[in-house]
Amino acid sequence: MPAELLIEQPACPKHMEYGPCGGVEFDGACEVADFRCVFLDTPTVRWHGGDSSPAPDAPGASRMREVLATRQIVVTDFPARALDAASLAECAAVLRGTTDAVLAGDSGRERVQFPPAYRTALIRAEGVEVWSGFTCRDRNRVAMEAELAALAHAGVSGVHCVTGDHTRTGARPDAAPVFDLDSTQAAALARAAGHLVSVAEAPATPPVDRRPARLLEKERAGAEICFVNHAGGVEPVATFIAEAQALGSRLGFIPCIPIVLDHDSAELLRSFTTLVLPPGYLDRILAAADPRAEGVAAAVELGRGFLALEGVVGVNLSGGTQFGGELEFARALAEIAAELGHAA
């Protein structure tokens, strides 16, 4: 073929095999490069990594399975400052006794975090269980296997496998992006290491009609829980769950509840990729005489709506705040978790 007829196809900047990621823009553009997401016009990639033969459950996974067998759970985001053991301990102390686990994950503004297993050990030492975020951005598969072994030893309750934001977004664009694996492959690796594995799915992000099918492939790889990204309220989440179940999914679902208490937490939430909030949610809170009280009430109301859905095994209180507001934000999370814990 003449060279002038060869048109170079763009490649996924995250090297994903089981794409697309959750960051596809609403118009179909790649979140990090100047072209259409390469997975939008191709069939959903079927899991072809073989049946995973899971190792026996890690102790933390067994503990969380026992809780999930008896009731719905409340998982809270964890607002502590990165690389600050004192902040981790203070926030954990505030949340102790109210949350079933803290979701200690990635942060766009603080890409450098304590390694997941070390952070898990620090938080668990304060009497709080941990559901650890686990991204493919900063480690190759060997380093990921080592981290999974360390997480099991540290007693992590669950491992939340995401491909991760690209280094071109967030605070460390100078770092090389690794992406040796993607979230689906990471789910298989984590399950094989004996973990209770969760993944994320974004129902409102293109290709909306194929998000349930993509989730099913993550389930085939080893995922058992799906954290449902902000999708616009109870009805869109109910529709997404029903569509996944109609395809045969038996996952447990944990919808994310946006936590907004003031302009700072609203700003941080707006930085989440492809965010869709329930209609009027932000306005209701920010226009209130007491935004904090209104934010707590709105979160509890939305949480109760999610917890009433079939297939929902818990809720995630999702969000954060600016520097200096961590403890106050943790107190609000504890308040909401305590309210919803009674409902669960």
Beta bridge partners of 254: 227
**Residue of 18, 20, 111, 185 interacting with ligand SF4 (CB under 6 A):** 20
| Residues between 73 and 92 with contacts to ligand SF4, criterion CB under 6 A | none
Name the minimum Å distance from CB 260 to ligand SF4.
26
Q: How far apart are CA 280 and CA 297, in angstroms?
A: 14
Name the minimum Å distance from CB 189 to ligand SF4.
19
Q: Which is nearer to ligand SF4, 31 or 262 (CB)?
A: 31
| Residues between 33 and 52 with contacts to ligand SF4, criterion CB under 6 A | 37-39
Q: Which is nearer to ligand SF4, 20 or 314 (CB)?
A: 20
Name the minimum Å distance from CB 256 to ligand SF4.
19
**Residue of 2, 3, 17, 23 interacting with ligand SF4 (CB under 6 A):** 23
**Residue of 18, 21, 195, 336 interacting with ligand SF4 (CB under 6 A):** 21
| Residues between 173 and 212 with contacts to ligand SF4, criterion CB under 6 A | none
The C-alpha torsion from 169 through 91 and 337 to 165, rounded to 10°, is 10
Name the minimum Å distance from CB 109 to ligand SF4.
20
| Segment lying near ligand SF4 (by CB under 6 A), choices 8-16, 149-157, 225-233, 248-256 | 8-16
14 belongs to the binding site for ligand SF4 (CB under 6 A): yes
Q: Which is nearer to ligand SF4, 114 or 272 (CB)?
A: 272
**Residue of 5, 18, 26, 32 interacting with ligand SF4 (CB under 6 A):** 32
The residues of the shown chain that bind ligand SF4, judged by CB under 6 A, are 12-14, 16, 19-21, 23-24, 30-32, 37-39
